[in-house]
Amino acid sequence: MGRVPELPRIAVLASGEGSNLQALIDRLHGESLMIAGVGSDKPGARALGRAEAAGIACEVFPLADYPDRAARDAEIATWLKGLEVTTIVLAGYMALLTAPFIAAFRERIVNVHPSLLPQFPGLRAIEQALEAGVEQTGVTVHLVDEGIDTGPPLLQQAVPILPGDDAQTLRARLQPVEHDLLCRAVTEHARSNRSPAAS
Ligand code: GRF
């Protein structure tokens, strides 16, 4: 019998609710890839509970434990390299990453953002779209570079804004699209970048 090929390994960074993490756990973990670890800047984030429930190793990196963001990111980078992951997914990770961290994992960091970038980057993307009065917004999954939501898109999908929408109804329409696009993009990224990020 031939050797069973190992699944690609990814890590996820998340700060909040973790619905995108849950989609990765439910649809991909143990099937097309392994989530080797989940890291957070926020102790008690719901995302950490979701990872623990799935038996995935968790680490918390609160900024208050470090002299500055660079020191915190250096420790996250060391942790990630130890996990030997091909892909690092930002799934609602709200801390800004420092330039050396991004350089260490060039083209390895994937982010999901609730707009059709380059429209509405940064915080409150859903509210920005509503305030702009546009008829559609959407979801972008992209590689992370040093800018705010400026890296090259991997997948994008438009979502209509309907009369009477508020942030809650629009978010509810965007979320399943986020989950689908993120799972597709991460599967493809992990499959085509099989060797772990260099140490
Ligand atoms: C999502 O809207 C994602 O696009 C943005 O942060 C939110 C995270 O949601 N980057 P969740 O924590 O995955 O539920």
pLDDT confidence of residue 3: 60
pLDDT tens readout for residues 148-175? 999 999 999 999 999 999 999 999 999 9
Cα–Cα distances (Å) from 173 to 73, 128, 138, in that order, read 33, 16, 9
Ligand 1 centroid–CA 91 distance in Å is 6
pLDDT confidence of residue 150: 97
Please report the atom of ligand 1 found closest to the CA of residue 111. Answer: 10
The active-site residue out of 113, 142, 179, 189 is 113
Ligand 1 centroid–CA 4 distance in Å is 34
pLDDT confidence of residue 2: 57
pLDDT tens readout for residues 126-151? 999 999 999 999 999 999 999 999 99
pLDDT confidence of residue 5: 72
- Which residues in the chain show pLDDT less than 50? none
